[in-house]
Structure 1
Amino acid sequence: AAKAYILKTFGKEFYPSKPNVFGAKANAQDAHEAIRPTMLELPPKVVASYLSSDELKLYTLIWNRFLASQMAPQKSETVSIHFHVDEYTLKASGNRVLFKGFTEVYEDAKKEDDHILPALEEGQAIMPISMDGIQHFTQPPSRYSEAGLIKVLEEQGIGRPSTYAATIDTILKRNYVERKDKQFIPTDLGFAVVEFLTTHFEKFINTKFTASMEEDLDHIAQGTNFYEAVIHSFYDSFEKELYTAESAEKIELEAEKSGILCEKCGHDMVYKLGPYGKYLACSNFPDCRNIKSITVSTGVTCPKCKSHEILERKSKRGRVFYGCEGYPSCDFTMWDKPIDKTCPVCGSLMAEKVYKNGNKKEFCSNPDCETRPKRKPRTKKEDKE
């Protein structure tokens, strides 16, 4: 079906000489089939009027990805252009697309940092439109996002797709990391735990051991190995290291000063780590038991009670949200960061979304505002289901 559709719609050059066949990843358990469209004759634009906005986005993603997976590869060439300006030579490097291939359908496959150069001829005079002087500094590796961390787990053969969500949930709940701007930032507790484990359990706290254990579990499931032998081999060495670790010196995390004085006794307030993240506590404990939650003001007045500010808060799972300072008397909350502007159409509070590339997008926080994309109403059949 895919071959016939590609040949009819795009032409024979868009179909590979041999059908594309993809092998399973090393850590895939093959418990689930891939999601495929049942009728390629129903492209997204044909069924758009029958689906809600979210349904259409999901169907488009599945339809495009499947079709692209059966198409010919993109062909491109790496090009370097040298511009001669007086005694100076400027160089630009990038790609020139010779044949679009599967990117004719799956536009998301193009990388954001691809530099597509126009077709030029040798000796052609180029008139600069503008000139910008940009200074670059060497940047450290970026912190892991959830998607980036899962990608590394896959590459290292750690865990299974069914365990990734639970793993991330665990490191958040135990306060080993904090989530900020969709990135994971290790806490002092996280650093201390890693230092202790790598010191006393070096053999087990490494990616090779974890991947090896995953293989052993697969062999047990397939009946090619016995769990007794695997457990016995593991505990022989683990028991010795566990005994050594139990007698190790306890790690005391140094309290971090906040620069804030306790309003009850005048001593320094320090940062403490609780079940729901950091909070402020008096350093004069137990004589003074004053504690305070850590709040970050947005400088935006609550649109519901109009008497308190909206503060940045954290949920039990570490996700940042924004709520009224007057809680519980005012229960206003929102997920997106509020800004001190009102919607010109409905007068509601405006919000801001910041993307990975630093770009910002302002939008109305009112989901019913006519400036927001409308979701198609559910049918009676959908409601029954």
Structure 2
Amino acid sequence: MTTLVIVESPGKLKKIRSILGNGYRVEASVGHVRDLPRNDLGVELTTFKPLYEKTVRGKEVLQKLAAAASSCDRVLLATDPDREGEAIAWHLADALKIPQAKRITFQAIEAGPVKAALASPRAIDMQLVHAQEARRVLDRLVGYMVSPALSDKIGRKMSAGRVQSPAVLLVVLREREIRDFKPTIHFGAVLTFAGEWTAQWETKPHLAKDESYFLDGEFAKQVAAVREVRVTAFKDSQSKAAPKPPFTTTTMQKAAQAALKLKPKATMDLAQKLYEQGAITYHRTDTPNLSTDGYKALVAYAATAGIPLVDKQRTWKAKESAQEAHEACRPTHFEEREAGETPEQKALYRLIWARAVACQMPDAVYAVRTAQLTATRLTGPTGQPVTFLARGKTLTSPGWKAVYEEAKEPAGDGKANTAEGDDVPDDNPVPALQVGGAATAVKGKVERLSTKAPKRYNQTSLVEEMERLGIGRPSTYAAILQNVFDRGYITEDKKDFLHACPDGEALVDALVGKCRFIELDYTRALEDHLDAIAQGKSRYLSVVGDAHQQLAGELVTLGQGAAPAHPCPSCGKPMRRRAGKKTGHFWGCSGYPECTTTLPDDDGKPGAPRPASEVAVPKAAPAAGEHHCNDCGKPLQHRQGKSDKGAYDFWGCTGYPKCRTTYRTGPDGLPVR
């Protein structure tokens, strides 16, 4: 008896074949074999049924898999353990006509998990399939319904995206926060004592209720001139810092950028290779906890390696939308300190290993020393004593820090993530002091400070913010970023910070207040509805139907409230900027073919009509109702007939061979644009 096992990635074949051995044949689908059509909506608008077709690659793959299936006794679908993988499994079963198709999933490509999956095959989970279909169809509806109206409104080709547009909104809002930010200059002071320990002036007691910063620079000079102080409070205490959870997709991307300078896509590509090699568990996850098996494996390894662990497994609260069937990303074998085939893979593996081991180790412990010092000859403007605070800490027990020391990575709001005690400087050697005793500063310094504008996002902090807001899911973030970069809506500077481009700002301005899908709360709620489909709590038709109805109503008003950015001089309809293959960009009327007005491009705007002497005169005047090429403006000719390759029916440009633009013929016999 031979079993055909179909996985997604060809990179998994060698490893899984070595695990299964004789009696099994392992082949790859190479991702999706069917998808919505590239140039049509591909959705039936009454039932919202997706109209799938085989991909170019999928045709060849399906032919190969059909031959393999016919020579085997049974078929197991082992695509990735997420919604996308479940959908691919269903497409394979449907396209290959596999009766009562069986599905297996495993979190790691290792003998134990793979053989355990083989022992408990299940039916395809159609709730997960419908959730994936709903996401795909909603993305298609937004793209195909909104983009043409958006292009008319802005005056050039634009593309709306259900999740991409909210991502652009976040960057644009941050851009405008930075642009509108007005810094506040304020002051502080610091005293330095013998032994090079310091004390910071406490400005808060000298502020009015509605004030946040001390603005009097002259008084700050007086504070910095203080030399004699007395000790009014002193305390030795202890603080603890707990380890972070093992990696989710987002936290792995964040740590990899901070420690290894890797962009999210590069991190995911490296993690994919490690997963295919069997080195780590599945890396597309939003669950921050080790599984029971993973924890047991860590305990067994730690016992042999002499690594101390806490008595009870640490767990962290997962997001409500987290896929609890997954676990955090971890090594499949903790005893393997090194894994990967390239230096980059090895570096990422070391990061994953250290984070997973550290998560169950004891807290790091610090000895913390705090002293309050009061000036003996100066009081503040409000009559309050002038006080200084000296704080320092010393690591007394490293705990988890013996294995993993996290590089500080700014969060989306520009503030560094800090554990307990991290706000206490560890390089301030405050000595033991006696309350009531005196101390003499050797110098003082005025601190001229300025409030800072919000920090720009980088790719990782943008993904982190999207996850926090519930926009998108781990498997979608890399594609979202790539999409908005490719469309020129955001860009990245040499320091990896993200900036909004003019087209990105134009997109946001056109959609905000008109279409709810760009609103962050609405997008999060829609993601929750997709999760509810996966859980069997909502129906595909109601979620997609309600979203379509909302969108259809909004399209009526999308173009209202403002005249077209560039109205056609002939009919008043919006002009659109188009890319000609031979002549560069030009502007054409969106009312084509009824209106055939074109204008030259003048630095991104419609230029003045060319003088008649500069316009090429066609050999024959176009017939009434004649169709013109979008690329060069010349008339189109309807071409029908037969050749040795079969019958043909299309519209071609009369400027051939200089212009090779063609259009397929629609049901009405006219060219389809």
| TM-score, normalised with respect to structure 2 | 0.33
**1:3 aligned onto 2:314:** no
User: Aligned pair 1:92/2:390, yes or no?
Assistant: yes
Q: Which residue of 1 aligns with 2:351?
A: 61
Verify: 1:198 aligned to 2:512, yes or no: yes
The answer to whether 1:121 aligns with 2:121 is: no
Amino acid at match of 1:15: L
Q: Hey, what does 2:533 align to over in structure 1?
A: 220
Of residues 360, 371, 394, the one that matches 1:70 is 360
CA drift at 1:109:
6.1
For the residue of structure 1 that corresponds to 2:388, the secondary structure is strand
Matched, 1:108 2:402: no
**Which one of the candidate residues 31, 36, 40 is aligned to 2:330?**
36
Q: Which has the larger radius of gyration?
A: 2
Pair 1:81 & 2:371 matched: yes
Q: Distance in 2 between matches of 1:4 and 1:161?
A: 30
Q: By how many angstroms is 1:69 displaced?
A: 1.4
Distance 1:213 1:19 in 2: 34
Q: Note if contact 2:369-2:430 (Cα within 8 Å) is conserved in structure 1.
A: no
Secondary structure of the 1:90 match is: strand
Looking at structure 2, the residues matched to 229 and 85 of structure 1 have their Cα atoms a distance apart, in angstroms, of 70
For the 8 Å contact 2:489–2:503, the answer to whether it is kept is yes
The aligned residue for residue 482 of structure 2 is 169
Counterparts in 2 of 1:186 and 1:52: CA distance versus 1, 3 Å: closer
Q: Output one character per residue of 1:89-117: Cα deviation in whole Å (capped at 9) or x when no partner.
A: 43234655454321221111667773224
Supply the distance in 1 between the matched residues of 2:302 and 2:446 (Cα, whole angstroms): 46
- Native 8 Å contact 1:26 1:157 kept in 2: no
Partners of 2:469 and 2:538 in 1: CA distance? 23
From the superposition, tell whether residues 161 and 120 of structure 1 become closer, same or farther in structure 2 (CA, over 3 Å): same
Provide the aligned C-alpha RMSD in A. Answer: 4.0
* Residues 1:127 and 1:171: Cα distance change in structure 2 (over 3 Å): farther
| Letter paired with 1:186 | A
Question: Structure 1 residues 216 and 158 mapped into 2: Cα distance closer, same or farther (>3 Å)?
Answer: same
Higher mean C-alpha displacement, 233-242 vs 150-159 = 233-242
Provide the C-alpha distance between the structure 2 equivalents of 1:244 and 1:56, rounded to a whole number of angstroms.
54
Query: Measured at CA, do residues 101 and 252 of structure 1 come closer, stay the same or move farther in structure 2, by a change above 3 Å?
Result: farther
Amino acid of the structure 2 residue aligned with 1:158:
I
1:241 aligns with 2:241: no
**How far apart are the structure 2 equivalents of 1:196 and 1:146?**
24
Residue deviations 1:317-371 (CA, integer Å, cap 9, x gap): xxxxxxxxxxxxxxxxxxxxxxxxxxxxxxxxxxxxxxxxxxxxxxxxxxxxxxx
Q: Residues 257-296 of structure 1: matches in 2 within 5 Å?
A: 281=603, 285-286=607-608
The match for 2:614 is none
Code of the aligned partner of 2:388: L
Q: 1:211 and 2:519 equivalent?
A: no
Given that residues 145 and 183 in structure 1 are in contact (C-alpha distance below 8 angstroms), is that contact kept between their aligned partners in structure 2? Answer: yes
- Cα distance in 2 for residues equivalent to 1:178 and 1:92: 43
Indicate the SS of the match to 2:546. Answer: helix
Deviation at 1:137, TM superposition (A): 0.1
Question: Per the alignment, in what secondary structure is the counterpart of residue 451 of structure 2?
Answer: coil
Which letter does structure 2 place at the counterpart of 1:68?
Answer: A
**Change in 2 beyond 3 A, CA 1:285/1:131:** farther
Query: What is the distance in 1 between the residues matched to 2:347 and 2:326?
Result: 22
Look up the match of 1:185. 499
Structure 1 CA distance for aligned equivalents of residues 605 and 504 of structure 2: 22
| Gap regions ≥5 residues in structure 2 | 1-296, 378-385, 410-415, 567-584, 586-601, 611-673
Q: Is the 8 A contact 1:176 1:190 kept in 2?
A: yes
Partners of 2:304 and 2:442 in 1: CA distance: 42
State the distance in 1 between where 2:441 and 2:299 align: 46
How far did residue 71 of structure 1 move? Answer: 1.3
- What secondary structure, in the 3-state scheme, does the structure 2 residue paired with 1:135 have? strand
Between the aligned residues of both structures, percent identity stands at 29
Please say if residues 71 and 101 of structure 1, whose CA atoms lie closer than 8 Å, have aligned partners that are also in contact. yes
Output the amino acid matched with 2:506.
Answer: A
- Look up the equivalent residue of 1:188 and give its one-letter code: P
Q: Distance in 2 between matches of 1:251 and 1:130?
A: 66
> Which residue of structure 2 lines up, in the alignment, with residue 17 of structure 1?
311
Give the C-alpha shift of residue 145 in structure 1: 0.7
- Residue 155 of structure 1, CA deviation: 0.6
Find the residue that maps to 1:162 and give its secondary structure: coil
Report deviation, 1:64. Answer: 0.7
Q: Structure with the greater relative contact order (CA < 8 A, sep ≥ 6): 1 or 2?
A: 2
Residue pair 2:365, 2:397 contacting (<8 A) in 1 also: yes
Cα distance in 1, alignment partners of residues 517 and 337 from structure 2? 50
Query: CA 1:40–1:149 in 2, change beyond 3 Å: closer, same or farther?
Result: same
TM-score, scaled to structure 1: 0.55
- The answer as to whether partners of 1:103 and 1:109 remain within 8 angstroms in 2 is no
Q: Which residue identity lines up with residue 108 of structure 1 in the other structure? A: E
Contact 1:79 1:95 in 2 (8 A): yes
SS at match of 1:63: helix
Match of 2:467 in 1: 154
Task: Letter of the 1:103 partner, please give it.
Answer: K
- Code of the residue aligned with 2:433 in structure 1: it is E
Q: Which moved more, 1:186-195 or 1:74-83?
A: 74-83
Distance 1:39 1:157 in 2: 32
Q: Which amino acid in structure 2 is aligned with residue 2 of structure 1? A: L
Q: Partner amino acid for 1:185?
A: H
Distance in 2, matches of 1:251 and 1:149, equals 32
Q: Cα distance, 1:8 vs. partner?
A: 5.9
2:392–2:430 Cα contact (<8 Å) kept: no
The code of the aligned residue for 2:513 comes to T
Amino acid at match of 1:66: A
Q: How far apart are 1:217 and its partner, in Å?
A: 1.3
How many residues in Structure 1 have an aligned counterpart in Structure 2? 258
Q: State the Cα distance separating 1:188 from its structure 2 match.
A: 2.8
Q: Which runs of 5+ in 1 are unaligned?
A: 254-271, 273-279, 289-385
SS at match of 1:91: strand
Kept in 1, the 8 Å contact 2:517–2:523? The answer is yes
Deviation at 1:39? 3.8
**Aligned CA distance change for structure 1 residues 7 and 128 (closer, same or farther; 3 Å):** farther
